[in-house]
Amino acid sequence: MQVPLEITFRGFPHSDAVETKVREKVAKLEQFCDHIISCKVAVSAEHHHQHQGNLYSVRIDLAVPQKHLVVSRDHHDKQAHEDLYVALRDAFEVAKRQLEEYVRMQRGDVKNHRSPPPAV
C-alpha cells in the first residue's frame, strides 16, 4: 500500500484489539490485490437505543488504480451488528468481493456480453 492505513473510531474510545483486527483484515485484502493505493476504515458506534447494546457500522474506502471502492456496512441487521467483530467481518467480506471483481476486470477475466446482431 502506498499510503499508510487510516483507522478512525467514532462514538467509542480507541481499541488496540479492534485496530489489530482491522490491520489483519486489510492485510488479507492486500493478498487479493497488491495494487491497493490507500485504505481508510471508519468504525462507528451509535448509542441511540435504550433497549439494545451499541450498534456498529463500518465504512471502508479503498483506492486502487482507476477505481475507488467504498463499502458501508450500517446496522441493517441490528442483531448481527451489535457485535463489532461481526460488523467488521461483514464489511471486509464485501470489500474482498469488490476487490476480487476489480482484479478479474483488470485481468480481462470478466465475460463481455456481445450485443445481438442488428436486425435486418
Residue-wise pLDDT for 16-62, tens only, equals 999 999 999 999 999 878 889 999 999 998 765 555 567 888 999 99
Host H or E run for residue 88: helix 84-107
What is the pLDDT, as a whole number, of residue 29?
Answer: 92
CATH numbers and ranges of domains, the chain: 6-107 (3.30.160.100)
Amino acid at 116: P
Residue-wise pLDDT for 71-112, tens only, equals 986 655 555 568 889 999 999 999 999 999 998 888 876 565
Nearest of 40, 52, 39, 47 to residue 13 by alpha carbon: 47
Q: How much is the pTM?
A: 0.80
